[in-house]
Amino acid sequence: LSAACRTAAMASLSMSLSATSLGSKAAAAARPVAAPAARAGAAPLANTRLVTEAKNPKLKTNKSAAKRFRATGTGKIMRRCAGKAHINEHKSAAQLKRLSTKKVVKDTEWDNISGMMPYLKLNRHSNAK
């Protein structure tokens, strides 16, 4: 903007500010008016907003953990056995059958997995022997 435009804009701004501070009719008309109180049994006003409480953000589930671990109905965490993905031709049938079963996660890993899967229904004392 040129200097003349800037000074003209500042002058109009200062005039409008002085008019509102003096309480002119134009300034009074521009003030927001409070909405009338709702009558008993009347429908709520269309321009009112509902105030919602602030909520904590949702916790994210670690998707790689969700694909590797499952919870049983009693709340135990189950995992697959390692060593059966490939190079199985030299392993015996009994070993392959044993590696096919699901195992219960050790107590030392419980906190790590439950932290990665915050919404998993777990029973902390189900692993106790």
How many other C-beta atoms are found inside a 10 Å radius of the C-beta of residue 88?
12
Alpha helices in 52-92 (DSSP H): 63-68
SS3 71: strand
State in Å, rounded, how far the first CA of the chain is from the last one. 80
Instruction: Estimate to the nearest angstrom the gap between the alpha carbon of 20 and the chain centroid.
Output: 44
Dihedral pair phi/psi, residue 53, rounded to 5°:
-75, 150
What tens-digit pLDDT sequence spans the chain (129 residues)?
Answer: 566 666 666 666 555 555 455 455 555 555 555 555 556 666 665 666 666 678 889 999 999 999 999 999 999 999 999 999 999 999 999 999 999 999 999 999 999 999 999 999 988 777 655
Long-range contacts from 16-25, C-beta under 8 angstroms, 24+ separation: none
pTM greater than the 0.85 cutoff: no
Tokens 């003096």 correspond to what residue? 22
Q: What is the pLDDT of residue 105?
A: 94
Q: What is the pLDDT of residue 11?
A: 64
Q: What is the pLDDT of residue 117?
A: 95
Q: What is the pLDDT of residue 63?
A: 96
Q: What is the pLDDT of residue 96?
A: 97
